[in-house]
Amino acid sequence: MGEISAGSRLLERSGQLGALHQAHETVRGGRGGVLVLLGGEAGGGKTALVRRFRAECRPARPVLWGGCDPLWTPRPLGPFLEMAQDGGPIGELIGQGAKPYELAGAVIRDVRERPGLVLVVEDLHWADEATLDVLSLLGRRIAELPALIIATYRSDEVTDRRHPVRRLFGELQGDRIVRMGVEPLSPAAVGELAASHGRDGRALHRATCGNPFFVTEVLARDDGDVPLTVRDAVLARAARLSPEATAVLDAVSVIPPHAELRMLTGMAGLDEALRAGMLESVPGGVAFRHELARITVEESLAPHRRLELHRGVLRALLADPDRADPSRVAHHAEAAGDTGVVLRWAPRAAEQAADSGAHREAAAQYARALRFAAGLAPAERADLLERRSYECYLTEQTEESIEDLQEAIRYRRQIGDRLGEGTALSILSRRQWCGGYIEAAAAAGREALRLLDAMPSGPEYAMACTNQASIALNIEEYPDAMELGARALRLGEQHGVTEVVVHSLNNLGTMQLIAGEPEGIGKLERSLALAEQAGLEEHIGRAYIHAGWSMTRVRSYHLASWLDRGVTACADLGLEAWKHYVLAYRARYHLDMGRWEPALTDAEEVLRDAKPVPLLRIMALAVIGLIQARGGDADPWPVLDEARDLAAGKGELQYLAPVATARAEAAWLAGAPVEPEIAEAWALATRRQARWVLGELAWLRRLAGQPDVTLPGIRLLEPYALQLAGDVEGAAERWRKRDCSYDAALALAGAAGETGLRAALAEFQRLGTRPAAAIVTRRLRSRGVRDIPRGPQRWTRDHPAELTRREVEVLGLIRQGMSNVEIADRLFLSTKTVHHHVSAILRKLGVSRRGQAAAEADRRGLTP
């Protein structure tokens, strides 16, 4: 813990203590909640600070306090298990295997019934996936909750940007999220503490570097020496205890996070260890006052002594198996080397973790079982491998998921289990596609169908059909996808396999939407509803992904509400990979709407937080490259070159089309040849008859002045069919109906007459797309036009949101709550003109409503 007080004063923590009190006053004043993220090094005094705050604030309600486990594989929802020791709805939900969003909902209801509640979650760096999901959900709603949440973590443990806590930090933004840290004590503070013990403060600071825990351990010694390390200080302090008290320390050191009293029955020396300050009483038992001390004592144990202690703990846990926590049993069984107990309890712990939404911990528990599985029959090993593969798949551990499944298939083949082999091959095809192994995925799917087709038709064959339909959909072989999808749907309904029905409806609906058939949304909606009813979380996420794919492919942005819903739903379900796909599609949506800032935010989040999945990075990089190319302020080619390299060798339009269209447009804007950028994608799109992709590429070719290419038998979709036929004004109008103003201007950039070119120029200038505006300006000048608008004034270009002076004026009146009519009266403008100004303001701020514009203006300080 690190006690850092001099008398009744907490040294050098007044600022942090004051901030905690201020946050608590906000909550008590009914002004919403606050979430505090309190970081610092191990032994930095975080717990001492929070305990002092608890003592001083005298909350009206009990403080709910829980810590994350330092187990090798932590218990799901460990902190909330501790908070719920007195029972109540939270404890009941956890016992029933509640998902993080269900538990968060219970916490929210509890908080609203007990306003002013304080929740403390310690040691976030050890948190399981489900705990982080609950905190993320609470943090995103914290402004509405009358609660103070304090989460502590070791800053030196979360430096890796891939650490799960870093993802949480990225999700928790806003003025109700307070980040603070505790720094090491200064030489003056250490000197003040040392003086009261008659010690040399300067020597003490040199040895401890101001770490409060180390300082207090050294000052607890009587010999006056300053040990060189924390380990020396802790062991020197422990050496003064009797053998009985030392035995208690040894036992407690192997039982994180705390030892129940029943596990210490018959051991003398507990009172002495408590009096000496090495241990402290906690709800349910005793624990070391600081994790550093526990680790030090545990690491000092001889191997045979550690093994003996773990075996003793295991016996105590198994004496009451109905109350035993599977994660703890599996932990101690592994440390005790008990193969039988590991194989019985680790899968149970994995199932418990999966039920709680802690899929990363579930994968780790299956891995634990597999380390002890050498003596199992091949079928049992295959089962464990398949289960771990699924949990890895849900947590973006794609390579591990594929490897486990391939090993399981080898075992199935070894024992002649053709049904199991075919089923696993079918699932493998899906995993390989997600990993970017397209040819291998198609081959695995074909082999699965071959094996299962030779057996009586059953659920396994139905699943193989729908998986192969999915592969055909992804490679855009629509006739095969439609035939297999329809067959799978029929078989799924015949055998009553909900998962097959859900998957097939998704495939068929997505195909129809990409083909421009609006009735596809009905199938996608039915797929989502069935998945939600059946609790098929993966398929819930898949519905949102495919809605994003199809709507961005054909600009069907009347479906845009699916994107925000999808991000929230996937985050609530802990489906990180799925959420990143929806974010990537939402980035493209924002780009097409002309909202560059939110597009950039979503794309950068994908690049920062997602695992290195090629398709995800390609989509995000294409968005960023287009923003840079259109703005003309940055060189887009490094970003677009990375996207090209990731797409190399993939040979499918999902990979090639975003890269080809982005690079072709960037080349046109830079005056470079377009043809080399589109050749491969053009050939593939022609073979696949991908009408939307062909339309976009054909228009970029025409803008670049290249000869049109005939497309025999391929009827392009509007608006591209119109603009390629010469009706650019008609095409632009259809783009505007889709709210795609940049695409409307891009259509008009190919106009033959002055009127269309002037309209294109005005739109490009309004959007701030200077390279495109320059191209259209040159075309106008080549026609002898001289009175060409120069675009936004310097004042507008320099404004953070590129608002004109008039737009700033209108925004100020919006903030005052005025209607368009009132603004028109105030500024002596027509109501129609005010409407245009308001629309421009909403677009430039990336919001959809007036109230949001006012809030965004306040957040960014855009108006006086």
Coil, helix or strand at residue 708: coil
Whether the predicted pLDDT of 28 surpasses 80: yes
Q: Which of 193-207, 498-512, 710-724 has the lowest mean pLDDT?
A: 193-207
361 and 111 in contact (C-beta within 8 Å)? no
* pLDDT of amino acid 84: 76
C-alpha 775/C-alpha 742 separation (Å) is: 14
For 96-108, what is each residue's pLDDT tens digit?
Answer: 767 787 888 888 8
Q: What average pLDDT does the chain have?
A: 87
* pLDDT of amino acid 4: 58
Whether the predicted pLDDT of 438 surpasses 90: no
Report residue 289's pLDDT band, with 50, 70 and 90 as the boundaries: confident
What φ, ψ does residue 178 adopt, rounded to 5°?
-110, 120
Give percent of the chain with pLDDT exceeding 90.
42
65-74: average pLDDT: 83
Report residue 799's pLDDT band, with 50, 70 and 90 as the boundaries: low
* pLDDT of amino acid 586: 97
pTM score, whole prediction: 0.74
Residue type at 140? R
Report residue 226's pLDDT band, with 50, 70 and 90 as the boundaries: low
- What does DSSP assign to residue 125? G
- 322 CB burial (10 A radius; 0-12, 13-18, 19+): exposed
For 380-401, what is each residue's pLDDT tens digit?
Answer: 999 999 999 999 988 878 899 9
C-alpha 679/C-alpha 165 separation (Å) is: 43
- 760 CB burial (10 A radius; 0-12, 13-18, 19+): buried
C-alpha 862/C-alpha 808 separation (Å) is: 8
Question: Does the domain formed by 794-860 have CATH 1.10.10.10?
Answer: yes
H/E segment holding residue 66: strand 64-67
Whether the predicted pLDDT of 836 surpasses 80: no
Whether 413-638 shares its CATH topology with 794-860 is answered no
CB atoms within 10 A of CB 604: 16
Cα dihedral 733, 737, 742, 747 in deg (nearest 10): -30
Whether the predicted pLDDT of 7 surpasses 90: no
Report residue 716's pLDDT band, with 50, 70 and 90 as the boundaries: confident
Look at the domain 5-183 and name its fold: Rossmann fold (3.40.50)
- 165 CB burial (10 A radius; 0-12, 13-18, 19+): buried
Coil, helix or strand at residue 64: strand
Query: CB neighbours of 654 closer than 8 A, spacing ≥ 6?
Result: 474, 476, 549, 615
H/E segment holding residue 332: helix 326-336
Which range among 109-113, 538-542, 805-809, 820-824 has the greatest average pLDDT? Answer: 538-542
Coil, helix or strand at residue 154: strand
669-689: average pLDDT: 91
Which range among 355-364, 595-604, 654-663 has the greatest average pLDDT? Answer: 654-663
* pLDDT of amino acid 487: 93
730-745: average pLDDT: 92
**Domain regions of the chain by residue span:** 5-183, 189-297, 413-638, 646-782, 794-860
* pLDDT of amino acid 89: 67
* Residue 815 or 505, more confident: 505
C-alpha 58/C-alpha 65 separation (Å) is: 15
Look at the domain 413-638 and name its fold: 1.25.40
For 232-274, what is each residue's pLDDT tens digit?
Answer: 878 888 888 999 999 999 999 999 888 988 888 888 889 999 9
Q: Is 713 left (phi over 0), alpha (psi -120 to 50) or beta?
A: left
* pLDDT of amino acid 787: 72
C-alpha 255/C-alpha 7 separation (Å) is: 33
